[in-house]
Amino acid sequence: MKPKINNDYYNHLGESWYTADNDPIAVLRAEQNAKNPWVDQIIGQFFSSKDLKIADIGCGAGFLTNYLGTRYSHVSGLDASASSLEVARERDQTKTVNYSLGNAYHLPYETASMDVVCAMDFLEHVEKPEDVIAECSRILKPGGLFFYHTFNRNLLSWLIVIKFMEWFVPNTPKNLHVLHLFIKPNELKLMMTIHKLQHLEIFGIAPCFDLAFFYSIIRRRVMSGFKFKIGGPKLLGYIGYARKI
Ligand X SMILES: C[S@@+](CC[C@H](N)C(=O)[O-])C[C@H]1O[C@@H](n2cnc3c(N)ncnc32)[C@H](O)[C@@H]1O
Which residue, 4 or 219, has its beta carbon nearer to ligand X? 4
Q: Binder to ligand X among 36, 55, 66, 79 (CB under 6 A)?
A: 79
Of 54, 57, 52, 62, the residue nearest 107 (C-alpha): 57
Q: Which of residues 39-68 bind ligand X (CB under 6 A)?
A: 58-60, 63-64
Q: Are 242 and 146 in contact (CB under 8 A)?
A: yes
Burial of 111 (0-12, 13-18, 19+ CB in 10 A): exposed
Counting contacts by CB under 6 A, is residue 241 touching ligand X?
Answer: no
Q: Which residues contact 7 (CB under 8 A, 6 or more apart)?
A: 80, 81, 125
Which residue, 9 or 242, has its beta carbon nearer to ligand X? 9
Which residue, 82 or 112, has its beta carbon nearer to ligand X? 82
Which among 39-47, 74-82, 86-94, 218-226 is the span making contact with ligand X, rule CB under 6 A?
74-82
Counting contacts by CB under 6 A, is residue 103 touching ligand X?
Answer: yes
**What is d(CA 224, CA 130) in angstroms, rounded to the nearest whole number?**
36
Least distance to ligand X, CB of residue 143, Å: 23
Counting contacts by CB under 6 A, is residue 81 touching ligand X?
Answer: yes
Residue of minimal CB distance from ligand X?
A: 60
Which among 119-127, 160-168, 183-191, 224-232 is the span making contact with ligand X, rule CB under 6 A?
119-127
Q: Which residues contact 165 (CB under 8 A, 6 or more apart)?
A: 24, 27, 172, 176, 177
Q: Binder to ligand X among 99, 109, 122, 226 (CB under 6 A)?
A: 122
Q: Which residues contact 61 (CB under 8 A, 6 or more apart)?
A: 13, 17, 18, 84, 85, 87, 88, 91
Counting contacts by CB under 6 A, is residue 171 touching ligand X?
Answer: no
β-strands 114-120, 140-151: how paired? parallel
The runs of H, that is alpha helices, within 61-123 are 63-69, 82-91
Counting contacts by CB under 6 A, is residue 84 touching ligand X?
Answer: yes
Least distance to ligand X, CB of residue 4, Å: 12
Q: Binder to ligand X among 20, 26, 27, 28 (CB under 6 A)?
A: 28
Counting contacts by CB under 6 A, is residue 80 touching ligand X?
Answer: yes
**What is d(CA 173, CA 9) in angstroms, rounded to the nearest whole number?**
8
- Terminal alpha carbon distance of the chain: 38
3-state secondary structure 142-162: EEEEEEEEEECCCHHHHHHHH
Counting contacts by CB under 6 A, is residue 13 touching ligand X?
Answer: no
Size of residue set near ligand X by CB under 6 A: 19
Task: List contacts with ligand X (CB under 6 A).
Answer: 7, 10, 28, 58-60, 63-64, 79-81, 84, 103-104, 120-122, 125-126
